Chains A and B, each alone.
Chain A
Amino acid sequence: MSRPHALLELNGVTKRFGDLTANDSVSVSVAAGEVVALLGENGAGKSTLMKILYGLVRPDAGGISMNGQPLHIGSPRDAMSAGIGMVTQEFSLVETMTVTENVALSAVGLGIVDTRAARQRVTAAMERIGVDIEPDRLVSTLSLGERQRVEIVKALFHDCRVLILDEPTAVLTPQDVRALFATIDRLRQTGLGVLFVSHKLREVAEISDRVVVLRRGQLVGERVTSEVGVGELAALMMGVKAAAPVGDTAAAVGLPTEASPDAPAAPDRGESTTAQTPALVLTELTLERHGRSIVDAVTLTVQRGEVVGIAGITGNGQTELMELLCGTEQTTSGRMEVDGVDVTRSDVAGRLAAGLGRLTEDRRGSVVPQLSVEENLVLEDLPTYVRRGLVDRTAIRAHAERLIARFDIVATPAAAVSTLSGGNMQKVLLARALARRPRLLVAAQPTRGLDIGAYQFVHSQLKELRDSGAGLLLISEDLDEMRALCDRIAVLFRGRIVGTLTVEEATSERLGVMMTGEAVPA
């Protein structure tokens, strides 16, 4: 690939956390005056890679070099002195100090601070990149976008040559995004190398010169932005395209690839179930926050024995839809029925009683980590295990042992859940949800971060649940998973369902286009 001489290079960087490989021999470079986007879904390994570059995480293998010279980066301080600056999602600003004081903080000695000189230097740095913030304002009075620009100025204050922006638009309003892009443009003109980490395709397509796509810790593609379409980037990011490493992985777990799209057809369930009550009926389900529709009139039916997937790029309302389904968020308008029962106004317990089962995205938030496996397993059914006001320990232990055997959980009943691996924790949650024999299971990212064994196990359990006649609503960003499990796939864009495809219709191109909202008539 033709590109300018690299300023900063990462070569074959590998990082493992236990049995999870966050970065698998990844090489990325950025040149002076170039904006390189690091694109990938959550958990693809983008943040880990950037933390390695900034000295916050130590790599297991691989090296970093600047201008061809190898660099040792052991701490953020090393990174800074090497000319690498980073703006993280959580800003490190002292809110009760002014803009000038914050920017100058790393440069002050012990004696008198020459506020006037500091203010002049800060103003000069801001002018250079076209930022206009009153230097004497307290940081606590600034908007998030302004704070982010202060962070950028802070990074530039120590002669930074490569600036890392980690998901910089996540917290910004559309106007602030415009201002940020203008700033990035100025940085590019002044000859800075910029690493722009994001999972938002449109932003990446707009601001970057080059795109590096990560998926499950591996570099799956590198494209010049002007030569690539949004649909292709989406396909790369989701791993639908038969790019070599992804194809291999998919084949290894027995999933359909582009070459063999035949596995999960579920043809013969249709007629026999239509007469029955659907497992889930959503009618114009809407959630408004601050006058905006986060979930916008979602209408959807899940029949018994059917798996319906919700696809979409992160941040298009999936999380909120899940919260509405689980009852942790109040519906603004619309109606939700589980197995024929209207649960729109029911609380969590009411929904569970109606036959709803949940497998939420945030595993740690769904267990009490300090409690034991057996205690977590009965958390939703405590009244069943209470006799004369006392907890029936024997029954709980028996219940836990049954589930541990059935779900192949590697843990003792008395072990604290916090000591379990991600895969085993998910099995505990799966066991808890399935033991209640739900008539509808909603599952969000059920296999994210799991190794291949746990991945397959979760899928086999979900299929078994489907075959037993329950409905399954699957919210996932993993299209391989969608195609393996779903009968139909609905695509969510800006809180709306923009279309529903059968699994046979759901080609990567069609899904990619729909996910970027192209199918929505303006």
Chain B
Amino acid sequence: MVAAPRSTYSCVWGWVVSIDLLALVGAMLTIATPLVWAGIGEVVVERTGILNLGIEGTMYLGAFIGFLAALRTGSPWLGLLAAVVSGVVAGLAMALLTVTLGLNQHVSGLGLTLFLIAVCEFTFRLLYAGERPTLEQKFHTLLPGVAVLNQHWLTYVAFLVLAPAAWWVLRSTGMGYRLHAVGENFEAADVAGISVAATRYVALMVGSALMTVGGAFLTLAVLGSYTLDIINGRGWVCIALVIFAQWRVWPTVFGALIFAVTDALQLQLAITTAFGSIPRELMLALPYLAVITALAVWGRKVRYPGSYLRAYRRG
């Protein structure tokens, strides 16, 4: 043990050298993409004071419906469209539970997630028991062969269109003001003539549609197939990221990149021989540990939106 340090240093140096930086950045962007879509969707929803724990199930739904529609029609574009429609429906369901019926948001969201995951799994097994269907046509990467930039168009859109647009809408438009006012003080919003229910319905439908795009990205662009654990907790990661980002768009994107770079690193290191001795489970847990660490460091003194978790009832 005492003689160990020297060899440990060289060992660490060996890992560092073995990292392919360009590949790492490229993988990071791809891995971050679904988190950016779903995370921004969750920001939109939570801005109105609603915690959508249905996010995990909604991402499963997007992945599954997108895959199913693309498989049946042969077009990933129609798959994406179907995923978006399913997202709007999932958002409507969540709105019905938490806004119209005023039910507990934790229970409604968890219930929605459990229900959607089970429905996807059930339907998939019903249709394709024992088979491993794959898409003939999935989205291709742009600029093949160019390092870092050989990404899917959904990745480009996520970073170059979605994030700036969401930031701008939330910051500079009346719609953004309304979301903010409803989330912070819905009584004040109501007095100002803003419909709390309508605002929350719209936010849930739009936000959930973004979540399904995040899910569909995995089946329509990355894998071309559907597996029963395809989302694998990415929705929960988004919940943590949004709190870490304090309901702001760019920090959410930043958080997604932290998660993604840890994940990409873990994937690279897993195939280097030096890492054979470390349990794979520990490596897989690394990105999640990174998110928890980030939350523990920066997410402790978070000021939650004033209407967070509360249903609005007049008088």
Residues of A within 8 A of B (CB): 56, 76-77, 80, 92-97, 101-102, 105-106, 108-113, 115
- Chain A CB within 8 A of B315 CB: yes
Please measure, in the bound complex, the distance between the C-alpha atom of A106 and the C-alpha atom of B174, giving whole angstroms: 10
Contact in complex: B191, A92 (CB < 8 Å): yes
Q: Does A113 contact B185, Cβ atoms closer than 8 Å? A: no
Q: Assess whether B194 is interfacial by the CB under 8 Å rule.
A: yes
Find out whether the CB atom of B180 lies under 8 angstroms from the CB atom of A94.
yes
Alpha-carbon separation in the docked complex, A105 to B177 (Å): 7
Query: Using a CB-CB cutoff of 8 Å, which residues 151-185 of chain B contact chain A?
Result: 172-175, 177-178, 180-181, 184-185
Shortest A94–chain B CB gap in Å is: 5
**Out of B173, B180, B191, B194, which one reaches A96, CB within 8 Å?**
B180
Pair B174/A93 contact, Cβ less than 8 Å: no
Using a CB–CB cutoff of 8 Å, the interface residues on chain B facing chain A are 172-175, 177-178, 180-181, 184-185, 187-189, 191-194, 306, 315
Q: Is the CB of A111 within 8 A of B193?
A: no
Q: List 9 A-B contacts (CB under 8 A).
A: A80-B193, A92-B187, A92-B192, A95-B185, A95-B306, A96-B184, A97-B180, A97-B184, A105-B188
A312 CB → nearest B CB, Å: 33
Query: Are A111 and B188 touching (Cβ within 8 A)?
Result: no
Which of A80, A95, A105, A113 is B172 in contact with, Cβ under 8 Å?
A113
CB distance from A431 to the nearest CB of B (A): 33
Contacts known (A92-B188, A105-B194); A110 close to B181, Cβ less than 8 A: no
Bound together, the chains give a CA A501 to CA B83 distance in angstroms of: 81
**A93 to B185, alpha carbons, bound, how many Å?**
7
Contact between B181 and A105, CB atoms less than 8 A apart:
yes
Does the CB pair A108–B184 fall under 8 Å?
Answer: no
Q: Kindly state the separation between the CA atoms of A110 and B193 in the bound complex, as whole angstroms.
A: 13
Residues of B within 8 A of A108 (CB): 174, 177-178
- Distance to closest chain A CB from B178 (angstroms): 7
**What's the nearest-Cβ distance from chain B to residue A85, in Å?**
11
Bound CA span A111–B168, Å: 11
Chain A residues near B194 (CB, 8 Å)? Answer: 105-106
Report whether B173 and A111 are in contact in the complex, using a CB–CB cutoff of 8 Å: yes
Min CB–CB distance A510 → chain B (angstroms): 44
Given contacts A56-B315, A80-B193, A106-B193, 14 further A-B contacts (CB under 8 A): A92-B191, A94-B306, A95-B185, A95-B306, A96-B184, A97-B184, A101-B177, A102-B188, A105-B177, A105-B189, A106-B191, A108-B178, A109-B174, A110-B175
Please name all residues of chain A whose beta carbon is closer than 8 Å to the beta carbon of B184 when the two chains form the complex. Answer: 94-97
Contacts of A109 in B (CB 8 A): 174
Q: Which residues of B contact A94 (CB under 8 A)?
A: 180-181, 184-185, 188-189, 306
* A199–B193 alpha-carbon span in the complex (Å): 31
**Inter-chain contacts of A115 with B (CB < 8 A):** 172
Q: Which residue of B lies closest to A92 (CB)?
A: B188
Nearest residue in A to B176 (C-beta to C-beta)? A113
Nearest chain A CB to B310 CB, angstrom units: 15
- Chain B residues, CB < 8 A from A110: 173-175, 178
A283-B231 Cα distance, complex, nearest whole Å:
71
Cα-based distance from A517 to B194 in the complex (angstroms): 47
* Set A76, A97, A111, A113: member contacting B191, Cβ < 8 A: A76
Q: Report A-chain residues with C-beta under 8 Å of the C-beta of B188.
A: 92-94, 102, 105
Which 10 A/B pairs are nearest by Cβ-Cβ distance?
A106-B192, A92-B188, A108-B174, A105-B192, A94-B184, A94-B185, A109-B174, A110-B174, A92-B191, A110-B175
